[in-house]
Every structure is written in C-alpha cells, then in structure tokens.
Structure 1
C-alpha cells in the first residue's frame, strides 16, 4: 500500500478492502488489482469503449421497460458515455491475465460507472454496480459481445482502410513498373523473364484477396449475445429486452449488430474471433512473403540484387558508416511474427470452452484486438514510409536479365530441350553468354536471336 495515498474502506461479499480514495472503481476491481499483478497490460481502449456502449444501451432499455428509474438510468447513460469517450480509461486497471471469463473486467466497468453516476446525481440515490449498472446483464454475455463490438469497429475503421491503401499503392507500383523487364527467379535461381510490374501485380492481388477474406470473416462478428445472461437462458430478463438492447447498440455504433442464430452456441464458443484470427494469420504469412521479397529485390546496394531501391528512413549501423537497412520491411515482418504467435494463443485458449462458456475470454480479447491494432499500424507505416517510395533500377534489372541463363528456354521450340540444355550448361561452365556460345557453334541466326530476346518472352 502506498503510504503517500489516502484510502477509503469498502466491502464486498468477501469482507473489507482498502481502495485509493480518489479511485472510481470499487472493491471487486481492487481485489483483481491485488490478485493479478501479472503483466501490467490492460484490455485496449476499443474494448473499454465497447463496454461503455453496452452499459449505456442496457440502461436505456431498462428505463424504457420500467425496470430502472429515469434519474438513475440517465446518470448511468451519461457516465457510460464518458467511458465511451475515454474519460475514465485510467480507472480500468485490471490485468489482461485475470480471473476467467472477465468478471473482474465487467465489474471494473460496473463500479466506475456506478460511482460516476452517483456523483452525477449529486447526493440523490446511490447507484449500485450490480443492481443498476449490470441490470439485465452478466459477464458471460457482455464480455464476448464487447469483444465483437470492439473487433468490428477496429477492423472497419483501421484494418480495412489500411489494407485498401496498401493494395492501391501496390497496384500503382505495378502500373509504374510494368515497362521494366527483369529476370524471373524460381528456387532463388534464374527463371524466365518477367516484368517488374507483374511481380507487383501479384502482391497487389494477394492483398486484395486478403481484404475480401477479412470482410467476409467480419460478418460473423456482428452477432452479439446480449441478454444471454449467465448461461444463455433469459433468467431475470424482461421480454423484449434483447432486440431493444441490440437496436440501442446499433444506434450508438452506427453498425448492424444482430442476435446470434443460437445464443447457446455463441456463449459456448469463441468461434468468430478464432475464425477471424486465422485470416489475420494468413494475412501475416502473405505480408512476410511480400516484405521478404522486397528485402531481396532491394538487397545490396553493391552486393545484392538491387533491382529496386527503398526510401531511406534511418541509419542502419552503429559501426558501418552510411549503411541503410530495410527497417520498415523488417518491422512489418516482426509484427507478422507476433500475430502468428497470437493466433496460436487464441487457438489454445479457444480449446478451453467447457460446457456453457469459455473462461479464457480475456486473453482472447487482448490477443485478437492487439493483432488488429498491430496489423493496422504496421500496414499504414509500410505504405507511408516504404511502398510509396520504392523505385526500380532499370539498369540493374537489364543487367541481370541479359546475364540470365534462363533465356535458353526460348531455344527449346527451335532446337529441342536437350540441345537447349547443353547450350545453357556450356555457357554456365565457360562463364559465357548464350549469344557467345551460339556464335561459337555457328547457330546465331536472326531467328535464334529473336528466340532469346527477353521482350518476346514476357
């Protein structure tokens, strides 16, 4: 206990506990703070905002149904709106690694809103965190619903726009680089000619495909099981509450959330976050491929492929003067490694669904929402500080293309596979160009020259 702080005494079903005097949270939040000094990581702003949305929507419906007095209801709505706006984020102190299912997180919201609502009412009736703020709710229905609301808002507002921007910039580069011929490579060895723009078109389409997958996977997250109560039944629930509370959530988010097809399936499983996380993992895999390609293509500048140049963003060495590294590509790769690891964490936590609920929801919420945030930030940075500034080095592309032994592929229809192979092997063994070997063999006709012209091969 900090000796410099002033404390107040509160109690709950387990007895008395000391709480900082200025804290808006109460006894159950303080117990969680004391019990779980694990990581110092809290659930993100998007989740806290979603909790506020649910509390405000529920209070509004409870007033409409005559379950909550208008005065208390309005105070809860005002306090919840302040939570939505981020005014009380510093009061949400429960660690991500907390009691199962997120009861402590739900009580953190209930207690902060209750104390603030009581303050708003200025000496009138005290607002109770359970009886009033948590009315018609339980942790088991509000926590997964808050997760889905937070995820949909984060994906719609940040990740999809970032992917759209990345796809568009890659497409612009594809069009810009389409005139540039270069050597293709398979197995990291010489391949037939290709246009640099064709390489980039593959990147652009890959990102477009992933964006479409995410948009499709997002649909399942629009199911929110509010009113499911503790196990999915409507115990202690007023008829008409469920459609009305979802309508209120939609009004506040301007989105189209809906009831689950089956409330029990919704509460038993974390299927939709898991499904979307698998898509994020695939996106991470593709981004690793693309950024690794760009690192290879820009390698050098004197001892690598050096077919493209990247915008320099910072010095790359503390000992080698003037060295500049592909820092943005490396950062993106690291983020993708983290997201792939996060998918494993979510898959493992999703297995913990037993009987009526999954008690590992807090860690699922953290890893899923953090993955969305990381991906959005990384992709925006990738576009802004790397992709838009990529340039082609046509001289180097042309040099590698003319030295590529894969041009011998054009001879197969004229000379046959075996003879073309022999010419290619001879050029490699004697460190000569194809033209030099063909000329020595007296085979360098106009027709043969045309057959190994890169322009005719792309």
Structure 2
C-alpha cells in the first residue's frame, strides 16, 4: 500500500503486511491504512480527546512500571512520549476521521503507533517499542476509548462548562440587582400580562442557569467509574490483577478527579449510559440558554419599532448595508450553539443505544458529539456573559411607557369588582381608545380606589407607593 501524493516513504509492517508510510510522519501501518480506508468528511478527533487518550496511555505505563509488568526504562519512555502529546506536541500526528470503526480501534492504534515511535526515539533504535505489545499492553480499544471519553468529558464539564455557567449565573444575578426597582409589563403568549420587575426576569434566568450547573454534579460523578482493565469485553483477559485499579488511581492523581475502576466493566464497554446522561445535562443547559437568548432578543428588539426595553452592547456593526444597525449577535451565536447541542442529543441518544451484545460500536460519534456540546455550552456561555450580559442596560423610559399603556393592569381590579366587571372595563378602554383609568371611572370605579388598587409596583411585589 502506497500513500497518496508521493514523497519519501518508509516501510512499516502490521499483521496484514507491509505499508508505505510518509517518512516524516510518526505513525505506523495501521494509521496509514485508516487514512486510506476512512477518508470520510473532515471531522477529526478533538484535541481534548487526544490529550485524554494520551493520559490513559501514560497512566497505563505507570501502572505497569509500579506493578513490575513492564521494564522501568520502557515505561518511562512511553510516559515521556505521552507527556509530549498531552502538552499539545505533535498535533499533526493524529489525522484520523471520527468516521471509522465503532470501537475507535484505528485511533487507539494511531496513539499506540505514535507513542511507540516517540518512545523508540528516546530509547534508541536498538530498542524498538511495539505499539501493541508495549504501548497497548493489557489494554483493548474497547476499554481504552471509553475510559478516554470519560476522562475528556469529565475534564470538560469540571473545568470549562461548570465555570462558564457559574460566571453567567453571577452576571445575571448582578443585573437582577441592578434592575430590581424597574417595573415592567410581563408577557405571556407574547401578549401583555401583569407587572413584574426587570430584575425578576433576570433572576429567573439566573435560576435556570444555576439549576443547569447543579445538574452537572451527578453527571460528573457518573463519569468517574472507568472500564479500563476490562480489556475486550469486560472480563479483563490479558490484564494483570489490579491493573485497572492502578490505572484509575493514576488517572485520579493526574487529573485531580476521583476516577475509580468501574464495578461492572461490561456495562461501560457494551453501553455508555454515563455519557448519555452527561450529555442530557448539557442539553438541559442548552435548552435554558436558548430560552434566555430568545428572551434577550425579544426584549432588545427594535430599537424603534420593537419592544426595545433592553439595550445591548454595540460590539460590531450589525449590517453591511444598513448604517448604524446593532444586532443581537451574541444572543444569536448562543442560540445557534444551543440548537447544535440539542441536535447532538439525538445523535448521542441513538449512539448510546447502539450497544450490540458486548460492545457499543458508536464510540467515536459519542466522543465527537459530547465533547463538541461541552465546548459549545462552555464557550458560548462565556462569550454571552462577557460580550452581552455584563453590558446590558435597561431603557427605563420605554419600559415605563409600555407599562403605563398596558390594559392588563386591570387584573388588580378583579379581586375588588369581579372578573366580569373588570373585563368590561378592559373592552371599553380598547373600544373607546381611552386609558384604563378613564374606562374604569366610566364604569363606576372611584378614582381613589383605582389608584390604590392599580399599583404596578405593588403588583410586582415591591412596597406599595
């Protein structure tokens, strides 16, 4: 097999025979075969997964050295090679598509071959490190790939998603306090409803984000058990006793997260319920974020012919043809990210259900979709916080004008004069084009009573005027 494009090559061998590999690439025969056989689309394994996979390989080498199942010099060379990858070195050494075998074997072998090449360079050509016998010792793609997925996704949730949601909730709470005294008209069915404060709207949004953040806690906990040590199907064939426990312990120390050996490795090789559940938490966050993005867009619509109750930061010109236009760009970017996450949830659910007997064969798709969703929720939340929420201002005069014109303030009359009489006042005001107060007085309500009963601030829960 010859690589496309010509150029200098070297001959590598695997169990199927010889393969020509570009001379300047650190991978071996199986990676080269995969480049030819899985030239599908442009999606590649994300860097955070590659780093997590290298962490698993490093932890395995350390466990072998500690357990005496690998010569110390060999284990150290593999560890050192993995260190390079974890630090972001050799980014071009992992070129494979996620659209490959459902176990992720090609990418596991890609990592094995690259680490073997780098470790061999450290030991010298006389001591060739073997990708299967050495780097992959006591491992299978079937337990390594899901372990790496757990590691990568757990790190993403703990170090990116959770802080981003925390910061957004804090920014919304700050705006809640800033706007706590501004009374506005609430809306249901996109129609006028009863009064509330603008602060209450922001507080409701903050509570949604805080709930989404809390939902990450059990999702993260479910990712802590890892199936490493189960090898091909969960029995642990070809792994020394205690190997999985030792690798999990190394991963916990390395990542600062309480990874532990799974009590049932079969369940985490044949299925990926914890990944599905974690993505469910990301989807719930996306649903809340999408609602908030849409509310912000509506309240900022206009500014002249819309609601116009919020003023958003003018981060960039909004139009290539309409001068002076400012668009809700951050809300739109957030909304698109959320729609992608929600779409990913369908993929994750179907992929999670793709366990066939002893092996789930959608592992690459699960890694791709779950990690993309984590990035989207974290990055879009951060951007929305910094470039939108922190700079939102209220248009108090416009809010007051909308409030004063709303006939739904009549709701406060119903406990005093009844629903039907209140409805007559509302319809009279609409038909005659008068104010609500004028219509109420025409229907026999006293002016002092009207002023006392229809107090927008009190209706919103603030002290009566």
Give TM-score scaled by structure 1 length: 0.98
Match of 1:194 in 2: 196
Matching residue within 130, 133, 138 for 1:131: 133
Cα drift, residue 155 of structure 1: 1.0
* Distance in 2 between residues matched to 1:236 and 1:190, nearest whole Å: 69
Matching residue within 235, 241, 244 for 1:242: 244
SS of equivalent residue, structure 1 residue 239: coil
Q: How does 1:265-344 map to 2 (within 5 A)?
A: 265-344=267-346
Cα drift, residue 30 of structure 1: 0.6
Match of 2:56 in 1: 54
Q: How does 1:223-238 map to 2 (within 5 A)?
A: 223-238=225-240
Match of 1:349 in 2: 351
Q: How does 1:429-440 map to 2 (within 5 A)?
A: 429-440=431-442
Number of residues of Structure 1 aligned to a counterpart in Structure 2: 458
Matching residue within 240, 254, 263 for 2:256: 254
Instruction: Give CA-to-partner distance per residue, 1:277-308, whole Å, 9 cap, x none.
Output: 11211211111111101101010000011111
Matching residue within 10, 13, 25 for 1:11: 13
Question: Does structure 2 conserve the Cα–Cα contact (< 8 Å) formed by 1:435 and 1:444?
Answer: no
* Distance in 1 between residues matched to 2:168 and 2:300, nearest whole Å: 19
Instruction: Give CA-to-partner distance per residue, 1:169-195, whole Å, 9 cap, x none.
Output: 000111110100011111111111111
Q: How does 1:169-188 map to 2 (within 5 A)?
A: 169-188=171-190
Matching residue within 373, 376, 398 for 1:374: 376
Give TM-score scaled by structure 2 length: 0.96
Matching residue within 83, 90, 101 for 1:99: 101
Question: Does structure 1 conserve the Cα–Cα contact (< 8 Å) formed by 2:165 and 2:381?
Answer: yes
Cα drift, residue 13 of structure 1: 1.7
Cα drift, residue 397 of structure 1: 0.8
* Distance in 1 between residues matched to 2:67 and 2:255, nearest whole Å: 22
* Distance in 1 between residues matched to 2:82 and 2:300, nearest whole Å: 51
Match of 1:419 in 2: 421
Instruction: Give CA-to-partner distance per residue, 1:62-114, whole Å, 9 cap, x none.
Output: 12222211111111111111111111221001101112210001000000000
SS of equivalent residue, structure 1 residue 201: helix
* Distance in 2 between residues matched to 1:456 and 1:342, nearest whole Å: 45
Instruction: Give CA-to-partner distance per residue, 1:33-83, whole Å, 9 cap, x none.
Output: 111111222111111111111111111121222221111111111111111
* Distance in 2 between residues matched to 1:298 and 1:209, nearest whole Å: 25
Cα drift, residue 270 of structure 1: 0.8
Match of 1:110 in 2: 112
RMSD: 1.2
Question: Does structure 1 conserve the Cα–Cα contact (< 8 Å) formed by 2:285 and 2:377?
Answer: no
Question: Does structure 2 conserve the Cα–Cα contact (< 8 Å) formed by 1:48 and 1:89?
Answer: no
Cα drift, residue 442 of structure 1: 4.8
SS of equivalent residue, structure 2 residue 261: coil
* Distance in 2 between residues matched to 1:338 and 1:296, nearest whole Å: 21
Match of 1:443 in 2: 445
SS of equivalent residue, structure 1 residue 300: coil
Match of 1:222 in 2: 224
Q: How does 1:384-423 map to 2 (within 5 A)?
A: 384-423=386-425
* Distance in 1 between residues matched to 2:298 and 2:244, nearest whole Å: 55
* Distance in 1 between residues matched to 2:4 and 2:106, nearest whole Å: 22
Instruction: Give CA-to-partner distance per residue, 1:202-231, whole Å, 9 cap, x none.
Output: 000010001001122111001111100101
Structure 2: stretches of 5+ with no match in the other structure: 461-465
Match of 1:75 in 2: 77
**Larger deviation, residues 394-403 vs 250-259:** 250-259
SS of equivalent residue, structure 1 residue 142: helix
Question: Does structure 1 conserve the Cα–Cα contact (< 8 Å) formed by 2:425 and 2:443?
Answer: no
Cα drift, residue 154 of structure 1: 1.0
**Larger deviation, residues 109-118 vs 238-247:** 238-247
Match of 2:463 in 1: none
SS of equivalent residue, structure 1 residue 39: coil
Question: Does structure 1 conserve the Cα–Cα contact (< 8 Å) formed by 2:48 and 2:152?
Answer: yes
Question: Does structure 2 conserve the Cα–Cα contact (< 8 Å) formed by 1:450 and 1:456?
Answer: no
**Larger deviation, residues 123-132 vs 23-32:** 123-132
